[in-house]
Amino acid sequence: MEQIAGEVLRRQIQSPQVLPVIKALILDDSVFDRRRIRRLGHDTQLGIVLDEISSLDALETILDQEVFDVILLDYKLPVGDGLEALRQVRGHATNGNCPTIMIAGDAQSEIAVQSLKSGCDNYLAKDQLTAETLRVAVLGALEKSASQAREYGLRHSDIERMTTLVMAKYTNALQPKLARMIRDMRALRSNLDAPGQNLPGEIEKIERQCIQMWAILLDPKVAAVTQEFRH
């Protein structure tokens, strides 16, 4: 998705006539509106290849069959609405991260806000649809999705790096503790039938070790001050 958005923007500057294909889907129950969007999509000169469906039932089927670069959702549907369609897209295993654009009437500004809050990448007023507004909306949705993917990738990488550092730092503290607990449990098991053994005291000792390990997991600074973890 990031590659498509970047390539579209780059080639739009260099050569507006030579563009990668943008695989798009429009969900709208109106044949007239679908044909209008198809014509406007062609006029954007973005290389849009458009598939059309008219219902939520058809949406689930086509999401299973194709992978899309952008999905346009009409808010007003005979059964359900665009927000329900958006939830369906976001919950899909393959197309769940596909950029989406909600299309609704000018008087439905509250739908725009609700759509964006629900995870839609852009919004278009149906009465103001032109080739230029569609072009801007598609490019904006692609770029927003690519930016979010980059941000997520960086966050995920940072989390993995910090987890690795923390685990490496406190492995030396946790390993001796685990080894000692294993030795104590083996000794306890071997002495279960031996007379004169202080089994409650041994069990309490292991319990304290478990509590101290739990404390380290909650606050790794505990490892720096406890003597229990030294060889």
Q: What is the pLDDT of residues 96-144, one digit of tens each?
A: 989 999 998 866 778 888 898 888 999 998 888 999 999 999 998 888 8
- Identify which of 45, 48, 77, 147 has the alpha carbon closest to the alpha carbon of residue 86: 77
Point out which residues pair with 123 in neighbouring strands: 102
Confidence of residue 230 (pLDDT cuts 50, 70, 90): very low
Q: How far apart are the first and last CA of the chain?
A: 53
How far apart CA 231 and CA 224 sit, in angstroms, is 14
What pTM did the predictor assign? 0.59
Point out which residues pair with 50 in neighbouring strands: 24
Confidence of residue 24 (pLDDT cuts 50, 70, 90): very high
The token pair at 158 is 């940072």
Contacts 24+ apart (CB under 8 A), 181-184: 181/206, 181/209, 181/210, 181/213, 184/209
**What's the confidence (pLDDT) of residue 157?**
60
Question: Which CATH class, in words, describes the domain spanning 2-152?
Answer: alpha beta
Does residue 103 contact residue 82 with C-beta atoms inside 8 Å? yes
Domain ranges of the chain: 2-152, 156-225
**What's the confidence (pLDDT) of residue 220?**
55
Higher pLDDT, 182 or 9: 182
Give pLDDT tens digits for 189-210. 666 666 666 666 667 777 777 7
Element containing residue 22 per DSSP (H, E): strand 22-27
- Using only C-alpha atoms, the chain has a radius of gyration, in whole angstroms, of 29
**What's the confidence (pLDDT) of residue 167?**
62
Higher pLDDT, 11 or 229: 11
How far apart CA 51 and CA 40 sit, in angstroms, is 14
Point out which residues pair with 124 in neighbouring strands: 103
Is the predicted pLDDT of residue 152 greater than 60, yes or no?
no
State the chain's mean pLDDT as an integer.
Answer: 78
Confidence of residue 4 (pLDDT cuts 50, 70, 90): low
**What's the confidence (pLDDT) of residue 2?**
53
- Identify which of 53, 61, 65, 60 has the alpha carbon closest to the alpha carbon of residue 25: 53
Is the predicted pLDDT of residue 153 greater than 70, yes or no?
no
Which residues touch 162 (CB under 8 Å, ≥6 apart)?
none
**What's the confidence (pLDDT) of residue 184?**
74
Percent of the chain beyond pLDDT 70?
Answer: 62
Helix ranges (DSSP H) in 15-130: 31-43, 56-65, 82-90, 109-117
Specify the 3-state DSSP secondary structure of 49: strand
Higher pLDDT, 92 or 176: 92
